[in-house]
Amino acid sequence: MNNPKGTEMFKRIRYCMVCFFTLGLIISINPFLQMAAGSTVADVVTYREWPEGGKNKENGRALTAEEHARYGIDFNSRVDIEIDSAQLKSRLVDKVPGGLSERALKVQARIRELKETSRQINGSMITLKQALDDFSKAKEDPQLWDNAKSSIKIFSDQMMSIILTLKKAMLLRLETEKPDIDEKTKTGMVAKQTDLIFAKGTYDWNELVLLYQQEMTALDKELGKLIPELDKLQMEIQGHIYRAGGSQGEPIPLSRYNEVKLCVPTPLPKVTFNVPGDQLELFNEYSKTVQTMKDAKSVAEALRIQLAADTKRLKAALEQSFEGAAAAAKDARQSVEAMKFWTNEDNADGWADEAKKKVGSAPEAKKIIADYKQLQLDITILYKEAKSEIEVMTRYSEMRSSIAGQAPEEAMITIMKGINAISYQIKQPGIKPELLLPEALRPSTWLVKKADVEKLIKSIKDSAPALAAKLETVKFEERNPLQDAQAVSEAFNKMAEQLKTVNNEIPGWLAQVLQLPPAIATSEMQRPDGQERFSIIKEDLGSSFDLQTICGQRSEYDQVRISYKFYDNNAELDAGWHNDFQLRKYGWKDSVVAGISFTKQRSTNTYKPTASLSWILDHTSWPGTKRDGTIEKGVGGKNDIELFSGVGLTSMALDFDPTQDTELGLGLTLSFLNNKVLIGYGADLQAREQKGFWFFSINLFQTTGMFPGNANQIK
């Protein structure tokens, strides 16, 4: 008889090892399991940035694609785009026109079952650890045995489901691959593979995941063979750059996919001593403003004066935007309200009955009436969207009365509170509340809607031209859906025209108040020259773009959008997505900031305002790998908002010495919060005595050099 004490001791040691082993696996296998979980955008596309510096210079920085994700990349980098064809096929299966055959649907169901069960693997590691912990606790406190039993049951059921699903998939695969062999042999073949999972310790989790992947890959292949239509689908990748401050996308060269002109590779210097045009303009504006400003008696007063100068400028632009929004909303309201008639099913059915009298019940007539009914459904969706956007614009325009008579600073606070309130009070499904107002104020939003309506009208007219002409005259309660849709299209166009009068700065400023990244309107994307489309069965579908070969000036905070589109013949499928990259300067860089500086000598009690121009030198660390092993995004990463933003020099005109006509001050400057706060000590170069002075400048309301935005708030 063996020694029970020894066995117990051995089990305790093994138990501790199992705990550590399991914990380690939970951490290390996690990313692997994500890959096994399904064909997400991240499975299909991988980006690799080749930066000019930093730790990733040699091996590149892998960026995992997410739908609509935004990353920070250095503005001198090259980015490779790698496409996994098998995963792409798997992602597009649901988009095959005409649907799948019964056999293909069965295979698809098996893939889904495998994918769903594979997602439980991670959970089973956790339930195993819980069961081990609970068993250990119950050994110390016998009252806890029921708790331990409950945990063991949860784990065992979960693991059993994982094993049985895998075995079932393996047996079904063997039935297809080797239909001639008997059941016993098949079972033996399956056991030979699954036994590897149980060869040592608790489980070989890697082996388990690999076997799941093996089955999923086999099923993906089988499905591919069952869907020849899948091979007919085509893919194109488009690339556009959006220069900071504009929303017009310009095509960029994407290897293999287009023939956009390549320029001589030009690495742009990051330390340039260059004064950007917008800052020079701002400096001139501030130079005029300070002439009417009083000296401040305290830091608080100086802040208030600066705020007043910034807000005065913005208030005027905002008031103008209220006017534009009011006019646009007023015109559109009536046309959009007219659409409400068609959101009522009875009205739509009533019209369809009238239509049947006119065109009969031949198959072609039935189809076009069905198309009209579809138009009615689309109008209902459009009505709901447009209604909340017009309401948000109306509420926005009404703010002009609430700020009447208010000082600029007070008005700004009222407006900012109002914007937040509007954004969260009016809800529209499928759109983030904070995006509603900036979207509604953008002319392109309404142009896109106009294009959507016109596309619908055209498709109906084209489907059966003769019948469509007849139906245009069919009315129910004096209304015709096509005519109403046409009126709405015209109203949207008028709205876009009126909103073009809104100062361009306003949507950007609103986005800053609401902490949004710069928005990009997809309707304004120009089709790249020589754009190519490839069959998705092509071996290598990858591409790359080199920021250095893009013609024209590129600046920090410009955005590159890589869009993926899929086609069946020439019809675009609803399967595309895009990834955005924000151009950033990593490593050493300089920036020039215009502002109003308040200067103070030791002997005086007041702060004199003066327009200043600061040159700031800063080092931004290259994005790398976080402690948890994930890749740092760059945008929204640790360097996105820098508490300390660098050191530099500030120059400003001074008026300390009454004996001098012209005085120039030059000061050493410390910059904080992305150059929003500057503090320094300088010398009056012309003063005969008391040359030294302190100064500070706060530029919170400037929209230039704004905070780069939060990567989590992506539309």
Partner 1 sequence: MRILDVRVETPKEKSDIAKGRVVLQSEISHPAKTVMVIRGTTPEISFFADNADGRSTAFPWREVVWVKNTAIFDEGQEIMLFPKKFMNHCAVVLDLEDKPVAWLKEDSSLTDIEEAFLKAGGSH
Residues that bind partner 1 (CB under 8 A): 1-2, 4, 7, 10-11, 14-15, 18, 131-132, 135-136, 138, 142, 145, 148-149, 152-153, 155-157, 159-160, 163-164, 167, 188, 190-191, 194-195, 197-202
Q: Is 78 helix (H, G, I), strand (E, B) or coil?
A: strand
Token code pair at residue 678:
């500057």
Q: Is 539 helix (H, G, I), strand (E, B) or coil?
A: coil
CB–CB of 573/95 below 8 Å? yes
Of 194 and 523, the one with the shorter C-beta distance to partner 1 is: 194
Of 14 and 261, the one with the shorter C-beta distance to partner 1 is: 14
Of 201 and 267, the one with the shorter C-beta distance to partner 1 is: 201
**Nearest CA among 547, 559, 554, 550 for reference residue 511:** 559
Q: How far is the CB of 527 from partner 1 (least distance, A)?
A: 56
C-alpha to C-alpha distance for 325 and 573, rounded to whole angstroms: 35
Q: How far is the CB of 200 from partner 1 (least distance, A)?
A: 7
Of 15 and 681, the one with the shorter C-beta distance to partner 1 is: 15
Of 201 and 360, the one with the shorter C-beta distance to partner 1 is: 201
Q: How far is the CB of 5 from partner 1 (least distance, A)?
A: 12
Of 170 and 318, the one with the shorter C-beta distance to partner 1 is: 170
Of 90 and 202, the one with the shorter C-beta distance to partner 1 is: 202
Of 160 and 263, the one with the shorter C-beta distance to partner 1 is: 160
Q: How far is the CB of 172 from partner 1 (least distance, A)?
A: 17
Q: How far is the CB of 136 from partner 1 (least distance, A)?
A: 7
Q: How far is the CB of 135 from partner 1 (least distance, A)?
A: 5
Q: Are strands 663-672 and 644-654 parallel, antiparallel or unpaired?
A: antiparallel
Token code pair at residue 322:
């209220």
CB–CB of 677/649 below 8 Å? no
Q: How far is the CB of 24 from partner 1 (least distance, A)?
A: 14
Of 29 and 233, the one with the shorter C-beta distance to partner 1 is: 29
Q: Which residues contact 579 (CB under 8 A, 6 or more apart)?
A: 41, 45, 47, 65, 66, 68, 69, 70, 71, 561, 562
Of 183 and 529, the one with the shorter C-beta distance to partner 1 is: 183
How many C-beta neighbours within 10 Å does residue 514 have?
Answer: 19
CB–CB of 197/179 below 8 Å? no
Q: How far is the CB of 6 from partner 1 (least distance, A)?
A: 11
How many C-beta neighbours within 10 Å does residue 542 have?
Answer: 17
CB–CB of 708/582 below 8 Å? yes
Give residue 542's Cα distance to chain centre: 22
Question: Is the Cα dihedral 628, 632, 633, 635 positive or negative?
Answer: positive
C-alpha to C-alpha distance for 502 and 5, rounded to whole angstroms: 83
Backbone phi, psi, residue 284, to 5°? -65, -40
Q: How far is the CB of 32 from partner 1 (least distance, A)?
A: 21
How many C-beta neighbours within 10 Å does residue 533 have?
Answer: 13
Q: How far is the CB of 145 from partner 1 (least distance, A)?
A: 4
C-alpha to C-alpha distance for 388 and 431, rounded to whole angstroms: 11
* Helix or strand run (H / E) with residue 424: helix 408-425
Q: How far is the CB of 222 from partner 1 (least distance, A)?
A: 24
C-alpha to C-alpha distance for 596 and 590, rounded to whole angstroms: 20
Of 136 and 503, the one with the shorter C-beta distance to partner 1 is: 136
End-to-end CA distance of the chain: 69
Of 18 and 664, the one with the shorter C-beta distance to partner 1 is: 18
Of 119 and 149, the one with the shorter C-beta distance to partner 1 is: 149
Of 161 and 344, the one with the shorter C-beta distance to partner 1 is: 161
Of 136 and 343, the one with the shorter C-beta distance to partner 1 is: 136
Q: Is 115 helix (H, G, I), strand (E, B) or coil?
A: helix
Q: How far is the CB of 459 from partner 1 (least distance, A)?
A: 55
Of 184 and 627, the one with the shorter C-beta distance to partner 1 is: 184
Of 198 and 694, the one with the shorter C-beta distance to partner 1 is: 198
C-alpha to C-alpha distance for 500 and 224, rounded to whole angstroms: 49
Counting beta carbons within 10 angstroms of the beta carbon of residue 30, is it exposed (0 to 12), middle (13 to 18) or buried (19 or more)?
middle
Q: How far is the CB of 2 from partner 1 (least distance, A)?
A: 5
Q: How far is the CB of 154 from partner 1 (least distance, A)?
A: 8
CB–CB of 528/254 below 8 Å? yes
Q: Is 117 helix (H, G, I), strand (E, B) or coil?
A: helix
Q: How far is the CB of 111 from partner 1 (least distance, A)?
A: 23
Q: What is the DSSP letter of 546?
A: E
C-alpha to C-alpha distance for 146 and 133, rounded to whole angstroms: 13
Strands (E), 111-254: 234-242, 249-251
Backbone phi, psi, residue 141, to 5°? -130, 100
Of 167 and 312, the one with the shorter C-beta distance to partner 1 is: 167
Beta bridge partners of 71: 581
Q: How far is the CB of 7 from partner 1 (least distance, A)?
A: 7
Q: What is the DSSP letter of 476?
A: B
Q: Can you state the percent helix, strand and coil of the chain, rounding each to 5?
A: 50, 20, 30
C-alpha to C-alpha distance for 640 and 477, rounded to whole angstroms: 59
Q: How far is the CB of 166 from partner 1 (least distance, A)?
A: 10
Q: How far is the CB of 157 from partner 1 (least distance, A)?
A: 4
CB–CB of 358/352 below 8 Å? no
Q: Is 708 helix (H, G, I), strand (E, B) or coil?
A: coil
Backbone phi, psi, residue 135, to 5°? -65, -40
CB–CB of 635/711 below 8 Å? yes
Beta bridge partners of 140: none
Token code pair at residue 163:
């094993």
